[in-house]
Amino acid sequence: MPNEPINARRLRDWIFPEVVQTYTARDTMLYALALGFGADPGDRQQLRHVYEKDLLAFPTMAVTLGFDGPWTVPESGIDLTHVLHGEQSITLHRALPAAATVRSRERITDLIDKGKDAIIHSQRQLIDEAGACIATLESALYCRGNGGFGGASEPMHQMTQPVPARVPDAVVDMPTLPQTALLYRLSGDYALLHADPDFARSGGFERPIMHGLCTFGIAAHALVKGCANYDAGRLKSFQARFCAPAFPGETIRVELWRDGALVSLRAWVKERGVKVLDRGQAVLA
């Protein structure tokens, strides 16, 4: 049976509850370990993200904070079993602390009617205890079968842009561990698809897949490694489109194009030749 169109008016007017979260240095180190930091324990540039002495939070950790799990709005008509994470962006307004209490609130910014399907754009701001904005996070959710509500067919602004047509300026390979998804889920996303083999098979996968936001963070790791001499503080914004899942244990090959402060990227699974991220773009200080 086809899904019903989403209730656009109710969704636009919905006020999401504020989320307050306290995270510790241990959380910061676990997140960085899941992205591959510490693969060379003697590399001090990596060590500063996984060792409590002068610990630095990796900027993309912000996507895991102030998020209270997959949301849906009562009577909105969204079918969460048919929702895909399409795009993600993060803009850093200040350095993310290694440990802190933060708060956030989600809001809908755009609803796109593609006919059969719908796209929901949302924004989340991460605020520190003093009331200053640390980061702005934007997502695009692709809702299969929820179109037909009569909205605009194109977004007010495009989150992502195509990568350059020329040969990449650099390529960085990022090996992952067989337990990468099990590590990453400790940052708060406990979806069964990333841990339970039986559940993964019921969803059509041979085994649990990696979180899309884990691949997103690994690509950002590759970017600061390849273009910023491991100075993660230079990363001011990062965005990408999700194309396909990777499996834990595979190598993420990240292609990078440099144009001054702007870096474009896309990522592939090296072993299978499958594109997992596209239209990636970052700004470096």
Catalytic residues: 189, 194
Q: Is the distance from CB of 14 to CB of 76 less than 8 angstroms?
A: yes
Report which secondary-structure segment, H or E, holds 202: helix 197-202
Residues in the chain: 285
**HSE-up of residue 128 (Cα within 13 Å, Cβ side):** 14
To which H or E segment does residue 221 belong? helix 212-227
**Crossing angle between the packed helical segments 25-34 and 212-227, to the nearest 10 degrees:** 80
How far apart are the C-alpha atoms of 132 and 123, rounded to whole Å?
16
